[in-house]
């Protein structure tokens, strides 16, 4: 992410935080609408899941200017999600639901520049979490990078831009 994209994400997230409860609820409603097969992965109170989602976003955004700490936190999060039954295919609908939620919450303030910044953030979050999810923390980084070739990212970004 560029410094300008980091600033855009920080600014827009500051605007979403006052409606964090609603944003979490909207996110999961949209996620289960576009990917109902994911609903069984989320046991318990969806409002609590929404709070957890917002806490993860808050942590990630607060660490954007500390990439080493952010990388470690996201790889750890990926390892934890492995135990929940998450796989790589789940990341695309989560990203779609996140962008949709931001569009709903920010409305006309969710500019194309802000959208691109959030897509860049989510692309980085996804790649880093997948390293933890797939156990790449035990591999040299030059080998781990080969597990997620560039064409996959291009397809993922294309998927989000279609929306």
Give 49-54's long-range contacts (Cβ < 8 A, gap of 24+).
49/24, 50/20, 50/21, 50/23, 50/24, 50/25, 51/20, 51/21, 51/24, 53/24, 53/27, 53/28, 54/17, 54/20, 54/23, 54/24
The mean of the pLDDT values for the chain is 83
Q: Is the pLDDT of residue 23 over 60?
A: yes
Domains of the chain, by residue range, sit at 3-162
CA–CA distance from 122 to each of 63, 110, 125 (Å)? 14, 15, 5
Top-confidence residue, 83 or 148 = 83
* Arch. (CATH architecture) of 3-162: Orthogonal Bundle (1.10)
Question: What is this structure's pTM?
Answer: 0.78
For 135-147, what is the mean pLDDT? 46
pLDDT digit string, tens, across residues 52-87: 899 989 999 999 999 989 999 889 888 888 888 888
For 45-50, what is the mean pLDDT? 88
Residue 93 tokens, joined:
């609908």
What is the model's pLDDT at position 44? Answer: 78
Q: Is the pLDDT of residue 158 over 60?
A: no
Indicate the range of 17-31, 33-47, 129-143 predicted with least confidence. Answer: 129-143
What is the model's pLDDT at position 153? Answer: 39
For 109-129, what is the mean pLDDT? 94
């Amino acid at each position: 992410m560029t410094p300008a994209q980091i600033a855009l994400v920080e600014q827009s997230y500051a605007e979403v935080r006052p409606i964090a409860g609603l944003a979490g609820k909207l996110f999961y409603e949209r996620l289960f609408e576009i990917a109902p097969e994911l609903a069984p992965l989320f046991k318990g109170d969806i409002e609590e899941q929404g709070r957890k989602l917002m806490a993860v976003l808050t942590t990630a955004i607060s660490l954007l200017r500390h990439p080493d700490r952010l990388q470690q936190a996201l790889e750890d999060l990926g390892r934890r999600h492995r135990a929940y039954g998450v796989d790589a295919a789940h990341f695309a609908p989560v990203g779609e639901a996140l962008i949709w939620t931001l569009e709903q919450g920010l409305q006309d303030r969710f500019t194309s520049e802000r959208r691109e910044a959030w897509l860049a953030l989510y692309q980085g979050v996804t790649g880093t979490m997948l390293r933890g999810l797939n156990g790449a923390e035990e591999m040299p980084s030059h080998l781990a990078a080969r597990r997620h070739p560039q064409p996959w990212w291009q397809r993922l970004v294309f998927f989000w831009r279609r929306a």
